[in-house]
Structure 1
Amino acid sequence: MNIEEFKEYCLSLKGVHEKMPFSNIPDKYSRDVLCFYVADKNS
């Protein structure tokens, strides 16, 4: 399974969405972190 297949699988699960929560942090590596949220109350 490659990363795109993994992403597609995660997003196919009920209540899952993706977000890049660290986009305003100066560290360039942290800005590229993609998180999968499950049953997030704020979405």
Structure 2
Amino acid sequence: MYVWLEQSEVIQIKTKKYTVFMNNKDKDQTTAWYEQLKKAEP
């Protein structure tokens, strides 16, 4: 898995075991993922 360094928008997901960073070269896609994850938050 790679993180696009040219993009400043990065999503960080922390679990008990791992920390995952994700983004997309299209910042609008990263924002859409963030909004979806935010809605799914318990």
Q: TM-score, normalised by structure 1?
A: 0.33
Q: Rg larger in 1 or in 2?
A: 1
